[in-house]
């Protein structure tokens, strides 16, 4: 059973930065795809960034391109999300997710089988 624990959320002002971390209880090099999702109140959970662990290929939602960067550290079994130029609309609970499946729609929440508990990000204007 893969377990994921997110950390690094908090409250920042617009334009600020945060780095989220996701510690995975399984060697990340054995996992095919990993992603970051977010869910604001009354909205569906949406994918913001994903990475294919084998070749580090990344995918981003249009709303975060150029501001958020996903990365992995296999030595630490950790997934990261560097968040810059944050906006109030980035306010949400952020979740990391993994799947052993290879060919997936990387930003689809239905493609992932393992989820963390989430970490809250609040951006004030």
Provide mean pLDDT across the span 58-69.
Answer: 97
For 1, the token pair is 């059973």
Among candidates 3, 10, 104, which has minimal Cα distance to 57? 104
Which burial class, exposed, middle or buried, applies to 16 when counting CB atoms under 10 A from its CB (0-12, 13-18, 19+)?
A: middle
Provide mean pLDDT across the span 100-120.
Answer: 93
Provide mean pLDDT across the span 103-118.
Answer: 94
- The pLDDT score that the predictor gives to residue 27 is 79
Q: How confident is the model at residue 2 (pLDDT cuts 50, 70, 90)?
A: confident
19-45, pLDDT tens digit by residue?
999 999 987 777 889 999 999 999 999
Report the distance separating Cα 9 and Cα 122, nearest Å: 8
- The pLDDT score that the predictor gives to residue 100 is 86
90-107, pLDDT tens digit by residue?
999 999 999 988 888 999
Q: Which carries the bigger pLDDT value, residue 49 or residue 28?
A: 49
Which residues neighbour 23 within 8 Å (Cβ) at sequence distance 6 or greater? 4, 5, 7, 76, 77, 78
Q: How confident is the model at residue 3 (pLDDT cuts 50, 70, 90)?
A: very high
Report the distance separating Cα 114 and Cα 124, nearest Å: 30
Q: Running DSSP on this structure, what letter comes out for residue 82?
A: E
Report the distance separating Cα 5 and Cα 89, nearest Å: 24
């Amino acid at each position: 059973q893969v377990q994921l624990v997110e950390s690094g959320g908090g409250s920042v002002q617009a334009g600020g930065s945060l780095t989220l971390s996701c510690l995975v209880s399984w060697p990340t090099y054995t996992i095919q795809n990993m992603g970051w999702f977010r869910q604001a109140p009354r909205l569906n959970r949406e994918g913001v960034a994903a990475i294919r662990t084998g070749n580090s290929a990344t995918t981003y939602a249009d709303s975060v391109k150029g501001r958020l960067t996903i990365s992995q550290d296999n030595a630490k079994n950790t997934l990261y999300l560097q968040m810059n130029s944050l906006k109030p609309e980035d306010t949400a609970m952020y979740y990391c997710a993994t799947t052993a499946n290879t060919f997936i729609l990387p930003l689809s929440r239905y493609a992932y089988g393992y989820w963390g508990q989430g970490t809250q990000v609040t951006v004030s204007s």
